[in-house]
Amino acid sequence: MSGPRIPFETATRLPDAAFEILSPAGRELRLFSACVEQLATGLQWAEGPVWFGDGRYLLVSDIPNDRILRWDDCSGAVSVFRQPAGNANGHARDLAGRLVSCEHLGRRITRTEHDGRITVLADRFDGKPLNSPNDITVAADGGIWFTDPEFGIASDWEGLRATPEQPHGVYRIDPVSGELQRVLDDLAGPNGLAFSPDGSRLYVVESRAQPHRLIWSYAVDGSSLSDKRLLIDAEGPGAFDGIAVDTAGRLWCGFGGGGQPGVDPATLDGVRVYSAQGEPLAHIHLPERCANLCFGGAKGNRLFMASSHSLYALYVNARGAVL
């Protein structure tokens, strides 16, 4: 594969020092003999991992290279799933198991049908094009929720440079009518999003909030959001990206240094884990900034981490929430 290759060695001393305990409650999340593994490298910017348990494979975006890669759990082989891929970013699966994707190039949400055909679900709102759909998740009722900052049209690196015609927003596609509704338009750089295990709350990363990066929590009532609460404040140079939630409501957050002078990003790159109440529990240190992550594997306890130029994995003592 093209792109930088990051030297990596799996830890030989146990427990893996990459798993840092930040709170006594975080200790139970670490498996003593599990180590961080590098599954693939050589990507330009890894994003949007999604697990297909029925096929025992993972898809991950390589946005600047305009491709979606497939990592096979049985063989460990990495192959190209789709290229060109519309500079795809985030992915999820709908209730029928189909791939739904955020594409920067076409500024749209697409669905890959079971026969491989691609259906456009949304590309405009109120007659104007979306900015660059970023991350996506599916609710228990089949509603498709996604964030739409302007990151993919800010340059020609992850799409094509364009002038935004929409505010930064969060949207929902109705599962019955297909109607597109903008549910939020007051966040600076909405990014990762995920539901609580029971679907009653939606978490959204505000990745351009100042002075710190934030995660907001909202009460969900069908297509409506209310009761906005600040759940997590990075409180320093750390920055959030994609997020995933486990069955206990803990948030597993892609994390990295924000580039502030005097701060070594190596101390921040990886995954920061928080309780459902926002208490920091643990940090998984990676040699690269983690952009997005998901749970997968046969038991739902393998954390896959798309991190800059590489894909990493770690078995943890937690399982991903399934709505």
Which tokens belong to 252? 């597993």
3-state secondary structure of 192: strand
Q: Which fold has domain 19-315?
A: Neuraminidase (2.120.10)
Residues 286-292 have a mean pLDDT of 96
**What amino acid occupies position 295?**
F
SS3 content of the chain, % helix, strand, coil (to 5): 5, 45, 50
Nearest to 158 by CA among 204, 93, 81, 90: 90
DSSP string, 259-276: --TT--GGGT-EEEEE-T
Which pTM does this prediction carry?
A: 0.97
Residues 239-248 have a mean pLDDT of 97
Q: Percent of the chain having pLDDT more than 90?
A: 92
- Map out the domains of the chain as residue ranges: 19-315
**What amino acid occupies position 208?**
R
Q: Give strand pairing partners of 146.
A: 136, 171
Whether the per-residue pLDDT at 258 is higher than 70: the answer is no
pLDDT one-digit tens code per residue, 95-153: 999 999 999 999 999 999 999 999 999 999 999 999 999 999 999 999 999 999 999 99
pLDDT one-digit tens code per residue, 156-213: 999 999 999 999 999 999 999 999 999 999 999 999 999 999 999 999 999 999 989 9
